Structure 1
């Protein structure tokens, strides 16, 4: 066996000390700055004891002003604060100071999560809002770490030695393998893809959890990203939704952690994962816990919808991995609940969404706290100009890995588009198609508003379907319960808005129904990506009417990208969109449906 031996040294976790209580010592009574009022003449003969008791009684009547605890659980998390900031921008837009936002934004029926994204797109980069509640925290953190004066310990990045089976492959075989995986790679000194987890040389404790959870063959992104990450390289990964990228960064992170000294008291994490939403953070958190059990690495979360105090305590106890939204992590850094002095492995997941939400200033603030020689992995579903520029600033000589076409829907999902005469026919479609769909597995129905979600759910329940709604007005406890019931099969049909369902990963979802059209092609891709995950097959049904001309146009492009047939009625509707043939040459009737388009304009 020529595999490289890991030098984990048989290290054992140190006992984590539970921090002392954080309540400040009670303040002593301070003398009043005002002189006491003169006592009325009638009170001069009052017994001193009676006067003392009367004074105390008056004090008891006054409400006690509790000291503000900035870690109280009721405090808005940064995502909510950002939404409020954008609401202010919307008000300014109405006065003409900012470009007008889509008419649906001001509608009280609009989904509260969706407003964040729609308004963010309406604000120019020059006027992009920084979350008010974080501005002071960012100023305090900015420049607070002088890396030249820090006594950073050296650490190992490279743990990979090519397996003999991979080493024996010819260049032609490597090219053919990447073609089969639909993987494209660029950069210097590129590692070859692997075909088995055994090829990665994972230590026994990591392999134990890989086998325990039924992971047999790496997905395309895992095949190429695992050897690159284990080689210590920075990675820019562009992968379709449901590609298995979470394991592609968690597994190398665990190897990275196992090689380092154990955390001492008051030391922060070694691995840091940033994601845009609490739902995605929860999903990553659970995956990290799943793979880290045997190796003993602890995982902490720092995101909205959960108790700040509990998260703070988890961080203070010590955690090798933290999964966080940018705003909540800055809050924890400011409060000294943790620090980034030992972070040597950084992951930014769904980086495009973080930029869309306006989190770029927060990300740069956090990066300033982390040692410059860290290893950084950045994953995105798109590769637009802004992501390219962002990656250039953050990554050092990265390996760029692209799986599939950038921004395309999964080829594992069979897309079916129904052009119906009017909206009333959508209900008839559900009544006819839901029973056989439920026999195959769970179903998600996407709608555009929270009110529509509630109404459709109630109507389905009346017809004896086990249905539930999921939207931005549900609190985190309700969302968690709905997610849990859906995964267990207690709920058969989930009616959700776009953002509410992000991060939902249920392998048994076989069908997705876009009851209301998605707002754009990217949103459509995220919707149908809830099925056909990690190599499984699924179907996505889009219900549109003759009024949905713009929707028809991007649905045609989505079908063309994955080589699926385009219905005649859909193409006829798409051609009514004024710029359809200009944006997508070769899609007209006389020029063939399969070619000539090239990279979609969303790239």
Structure 2
């Protein structure tokens, strides 16, 4: 990107800024003002520093003098000292002390790790007799060396024959060409491979995908009624993604009520009623008939539209109705791949809300306890929710086999590709059975997502909620503040001082170091907050989210790891401390608030270095019928003018390391004023 200092043209006058003290929280908005305001409020001044950096480490938490996060029943209890091999102490402690916390929580005993005296290390257990016995048994179990269980031969991804396992030699396929050279007969080799694959697929158990019994009223909807309903419900567009081949069944009509979708599955209806939903969301209304009929589907919609429940309920029914009993299957039935740990955990939380026929799930992700995850998988689950890296790890270790899955979900596929997970996805799903059902969700429709659909989906139906053009949710009031880089922290503190007591905000930063710095500064000023970024241990990241969800803190400082898949109820504000690198991330950040029918406010700090995004941001604001500040329009015009001058002059040229311009130090700072 061109440096804005070199190309900035200040020949056009621009309005003067409003001082930071004008930041208020009322519902007024004025064109041309530097900030479009939200609700008025008074400072909260909560005080009380809460930061994970001030907590004791695992040894301090587990010792006699440490302060545990849980009150154990050991004030008048017993004590027992056991010895464990010193080289296995790490199994008891876990990463960042996560395992020892789990052991204490599950056993209700207090555990203290002593000093090593050579080959052995003493471990002291405090608590009641039952608690000590339970903790002792759990530690003994951790000391055992387990071998990974063998995969079942009938469903092994490697197959039984030499050809399938890749160990066959190619000399059996050699022929002599017209020049007398020995070459490989690829036609015969490929034909034999296809034959072996067909024989292998024929050994798999049959699966049932068409589970849909169309309601009579839904069946009788006219084409005009269907078109009108789709138009008035977020302008839903439904079509076959690729060629509409002859012989394919018509796309099913949308259901208008929960009963029309699941009247033949009363237990599912009961679970829906427990959640208190009034009616299906638009994507659910259209997706349920498609997925219950066994079709592959691509759902393109922004966050907060109900995509998770759209693929989850058909998955539960799919698991239950398969001909082979669940306890006889070679592995889990449903796979959900998600780009981040936070989104994977969010999906697992959603799955846990629906207790249907004893179906079990597990969430596997990097940073979690791998051994514990493997133990849960091997004991038997029906749904695996995973990040691509950890899933590939378990597939390579033969703890999971892709051939066993018959219902596969690629959630937020565009984000997975943005994060570089395409190779892991392709390797992991290389062995997936050809008659599986695949669901893909995405907020956008880039070429990479289309490529995935072509590879893994069969005649998919595409459901677009709204336009394919990038758009922010319309329930969020988007505000902009134009300022210098050095003034951001002061503006943020001013905003926080005017927060209502019940306000909840996420502050998005562009770098992990910035997020860490901001959270530290807030804590030092007595402002309770949490931080969420890639440098924190998984246990700390989960604790940060828990604190935000349960209201322990009302401020979360995060990088874009929290821009998708994080569902925090009653989140009132999103602050973009740094503008994201891609305009798509701006949309996803803003979409963290204004969810589930509620309204929200976003405030974005804009500096001169963000001018390359000004034109795209103007379009986002206009599409959402938001006020477009004059400063933003001028930024966009200046950036376009710069590109024209740069192209005319043959590029940026050599600046000689910022020399020769007589700017003196950091140069002028009044680029807007």
Q: Would you say same fold, with TM above 0.5? A: yes
Check 1:168–1:581 CA distance in 2 against 1; reply closer, same or farther (3 A cut): farther
Cα contact 2:563–2:585 (8 A) shared by 1: no
The answer to whether structure 1 residue 247 and structure 2 residue 309 are counterparts is: yes
2:252 corresponds to? 191
Give the TM-score, by structure 1 length. 0.70
Q: CA deviation at 1:156?
A: 1.7
Local SS of the residue matching 1:534: coil
Q: CA deviation at 1:445?
A: 0.8
The answer to whether structure 1 residue 175 and structure 2 residue 227 are counterparts is: yes
Check 1:481–1:347 CA distance in 2 against 1; reply closer, same or farther (3 A cut): same
The answer to whether structure 1 residue 412 and structure 2 residue 475 are counterparts is: yes
Distance in structure 1 (CA, Å) of the matches to 2:411 and 2:642: 32
The answer to whether structure 1 residue 553 and structure 2 residue 594 are counterparts is: no
Find the partner of 1:160 among 212, 220, 229: 212
Moved more, 304-313 or 265-274: 265-274
List gaps (5 residues or longer) in structure 1: 1-63, 76-138, 583-603
How many residue pairs align between the two structures? Answer: 452
Check 1:572–1:229 CA distance in 2 against 1; reply closer, same or farther (3 A cut): same
Check 1:477–1:403 CA distance in 2 against 1; reply closer, same or farther (3 A cut): same
Cα contact 2:255–2:261 (8 A) shared by 1: yes
The answer to whether structure 1 residue 290 and structure 2 residue 365 are counterparts is: no
Distance in structure 2 (CA, Å) of the matches to 1:160 and 1:414: 40
Local SS of the residue matching 1:373: coil
1:262 corresponds to? 325
Cα contact 1:575–1:581 (8 A) shared by 2: no
Distance in structure 2 (CA, Å) of the matches to 1:165 and 1:466: 54
Local SS of the residue matching 1:575: helix
2:127 corresponds to? none
Distance in structure 2 (CA, Å) of the matches to 1:483 and 1:572: 39
Distance in structure 2 (CA, Å) of the matches to 1:439 and 1:170: 51
2:151 corresponds to? none
Distance in structure 1 (CA, Å) of the matches to 2:384 and 2:375: 13
Q: CA deviation at 1:280?
A: 1.4
Check 1:332–1:465 CA distance in 2 against 1; reply closer, same or farther (3 A cut): same
Moved more, 360-369 or 479-488: 360-369
Local SS of the residue matching 1:552: helix
Give the TM-score, by structure 2 length. 0.63
Cα contact 1:341–1:369 (8 A) shared by 2: yes
The answer to whether structure 1 residue 212 and structure 2 residue 265 are counterparts is: no
2:58 corresponds to? none
Find the partner of 1:334 among 387, 392, 396: 396
Check 1:468–1:152 CA distance in 2 against 1; reply closer, same or farther (3 A cut): same
2:101 corresponds to? none
Q: Deviations over 1:219-247 (max 9, x none)?
A: 22212111111111100111112221111
Check 1:426–1:468 CA distance in 2 against 1; reply closer, same or farther (3 A cut): same
Cα contact 2:475–2:598 (8 A) shared by 1: yes
2:629 corresponds to? 567
Distance in structure 2 (CA, Å) of the matches to 1:200 and 1:254: 14
Local SS of the residue matching 1:336: coil
2:71 corresponds to? none
Distance in structure 1 (CA, Å) of the matches to 2:421 and 2:336: 14
Check 1:255–1:474 CA distance in 2 against 1; reply closer, same or farther (3 A cut): same
Moved more, 322-331 or 143-152: 143-152
List gaps (5 residues or longer) in structure 2: 1-84, 97-156, 166-195, 245-249, 645-673
Find the partner of 1:433 among 464, 484, 495: 495
Q: CA deviation at 1:389?
A: 2.2
2:200 corresponds to? 149
RMSD of aligned residue pairs (Cα, Å): 2.9
Local SS of the residue matching 1:414: strand
Local SS of the residue matching 2:358: coil
Moved more, 530-539 or 470-479: 530-539
Check 1:265–1:73 CA distance in 2 against 1; reply closer, same or farther (3 A cut): farther
Cα contact 1:438–1:492 (8 A) shared by 2: no
Local SS of the residue matching 2:326: coil
Q: CA deviation at 1:180?
A: 1.5
Cα contact 2:367–2:537 (8 A) shared by 1: yes
Find the partner of 2:430 among 344, 368, 384: 368
Distance in structure 1 (CA, Å) of the matches to 2:389 and 2:543: 25
Distance in structure 1 (CA, Å) of the matches to 2:316 and 2:522: 44
Distance in structure 2 (CA, Å) of the matches to 1:387 and 1:330: 20
Local SS of the residue matching 2:596: helix
Cα contact 1:445–1:513 (8 A) shared by 2: yes
Distance in structure 2 (CA, Å) of the matches to 1:482 and 1:366: 31
Q: Deviations over 1:250-304 (max 9, x none)?
A: 111001111123323572111111112222111111111222x232100012211
Check 1:419–1:199 CA distance in 2 against 1; reply closer, same or farther (3 A cut): same
Check 1:579–1:283 CA distance in 2 against 1; reply closer, same or farther (3 A cut): farther
Q: CA deviation at 1:464?
A: 3.9
Cα contact 1:268–1:318 (8 A) shared by 2: yes
1:515-526 to 2 correspondence within 5 Å?
Answer: 515-526=577-588
Distance in structure 2 (CA, Å) of the matches to 1:556 and 1:440: 31
Distance in structure 2 (CA, Å) of the matches to 1:140 and 1:157: 26
Cα contact 1:531–1:538 (8 A) shared by 2: yes
Cα contact 2:366–2:389 (8 A) shared by 1: no
Check 1:356–1:547 CA distance in 2 against 1; reply closer, same or farther (3 A cut): closer
Distance in structure 2 (CA, Å) of the matches to 1:577 and 1:308: 49
Distance in structure 2 (CA, Å) of the matches to 1:333 and 1:546: 47
Cα contact 2:548–2:556 (8 A) shared by 1: yes
1:200 corresponds to? 261
1:52-71 to 2 correspondence within 5 Å?
Answer: none
Local SS of the residue matching 1:533: coil
Distance in structure 1 (CA, Å) of the matches to 2:497 and 2:86: 58
The answer to whether structure 1 residue 527 and structure 2 residue 589 are counterparts is: yes
Distance in structure 1 (CA, Å) of the matches to 2:290 and 2:642: 40
Check 1:220–1:429 CA distance in 2 against 1; reply closer, same or farther (3 A cut): farther
1:478-557 to 2 correspondence within 5 Å?
Answer: 478-557=540-619
Q: CA deviation at 1:359?
A: 2.3
The answer to whether structure 1 residue 470 and structure 2 residue 532 are counterparts is: yes
